[in-house]
Structure 1
Amino acid sequence: MPDAPKNVLFLCTGNSARSLMAEAIITREGMGRFRGFSAGSRPKDAPHPRTIELLQHLNHDTSAIRSKSWEEFAGPDAPQMDFVFTVCDQAAAEPCPIWPGQPMSAHWGMPDPAAATGTDAEISFAFTDAYRMLRNRISIFVNLPLAQLDRFSLQKELDRIGQHTHAEDTAPA
């Protein structure tokens, strides 16, 4: 009997770009082994339009994508998380709710594409670049031999993934 999918929550302050991208990426890259969720400490009213545009362009299902508070995942009726990753420095510094089940966590911070300025092309690049960095990190994560790693070793791997520099995320695999 196959193992139940692992629940993975991605946190960011606004839950309008990076965390939503990560939710979509892990749902696809995890191929049924992982279920992605995302939330923010102070969520925006809606996802950033460029986030939705990019995800749709890359053929992600965006029908359920919405900005939401991390409080949705801290209550007794929330799905129990196996992993919680912060993808922005601000959310990583905030006091988080206590997550039921004591999920493994790590910080995978990266620049916020929603804060990008410049030409239309430069802003589009910021979104595409954030997506690429997240996809690289999530691809490494979903290919870890989870069943073969003890909790300490797994934590080291999760932290190592988050410490990838921008240059490492852009290097060919």
Structure 2
Amino acid sequence: MRVLFMCTANSCRSILSEAMFNHIAPESFVAVSAGSFPKGQVSPRSLTTLTRAGISIEGLSSKGNDAFESNPPDIVITVCDKAAGEACPVYFGPALKAHWGLKDPSEVPGDEATVDAAFDATLAQIEKRCRAFLELPIATLARDELKRELDRIGKL
């Protein structure tokens, strides 16, 4: 199963989600990420947060939706508030879509410790949701049941 985590800039929340999902998921799952308006670079604080958590940052990059045109995902999960109202591109066709809104930790004001805490809290929230997703009996769920479960997880 191929899961696309999508955000506007693809520099923070979608990158954290891709890395966390791949860190804990079995080999039959793979996560990728993209942005509707990619920044072109991953937030350095995202990379630092992942490294501090012992999660690989190898291969992470900020890219647009077109990177997946020839190999569309099975599931598209938007992870930022701005992307929630955007329509998923047509080429995603039958991909199941869900929204797991997360506040942008890079917009948290404060000193280094405060911003680090915001990134750590965001990563912990992503881990909680990814683990809940991976615990689902996906093989036995009908498409509408899976959609309902993904939407429920987005509210955790």
| Shorter-chain TM-score range | over 0.9
1:43-89 deviations in Å (ceiling 9; x for gaps): 1131111100111122222120111111212x2x2x23111000011
**Amino acid in structure 2 at the alignment position of 1:110:** L
2:20 aligned partner = 25
Distance 1:105 1:129, change over 3 A: same
Counterpart of 2:54, as a letter, is: N
- Alpha-carbon deviation of 1:163? 1.7
| SS of residue matched to 1:26 | helix
Q: Given the alignment of the two structures, is residue 120 of structure 1 paired with residue 115 of structure 2, yes or no?
A: no
For residue 45 of structure 2, what is the amino acid of its counterpart? R
- Give 5+ residue unaligned stretches, structure 2: none
Q: Distance in 1 between matches of 2:27 and 2:75?
A: 15
Unpaired runs of 5+ in structure 1? 1-5, 165-173
| Aligned residue type for 2:137 | P
Count of residues in Structure 1 that have an aligned counterpart in Structure 2: 156
Q: 1:60 aligns with which of 27, 52, 55?
A: 55
Give distance in 1, aligned partners of 2:73 and 2:149.
18
Give the structure 2 partner of residue 50 of structure 1. Answer: 45
Shift of 1:92: 1.4
Check whether the contact 2:23–2:56 (CA below 8 A) recurs between aligned residues. Answer: no
Could you tell me the percent identity over the aligned residues?
Answer: 38
Matched residue SS, 1:99:
helix
**Which of 34, 37, 47 does residue 39 from structure 1 map onto?**
34
Of 65, 70, 84, 1:70 maps to: 65
1:136 corresponds in structure 2 to: 128
Whether the aligned pair in 2 keeps the contact of 1:81 and 1:101 (CA below 8 Å) is no
Structure with higher Rg: it is 1
Is the 1:81–1:99 Cα contact (8 Å) retained in structure 2? no
Runs of 4+ aligned residues of structure 1 deviating over 4 Å after TM superposition are none
Matched-pair contact (CA < 8 Å) for 1:82–1:101: no
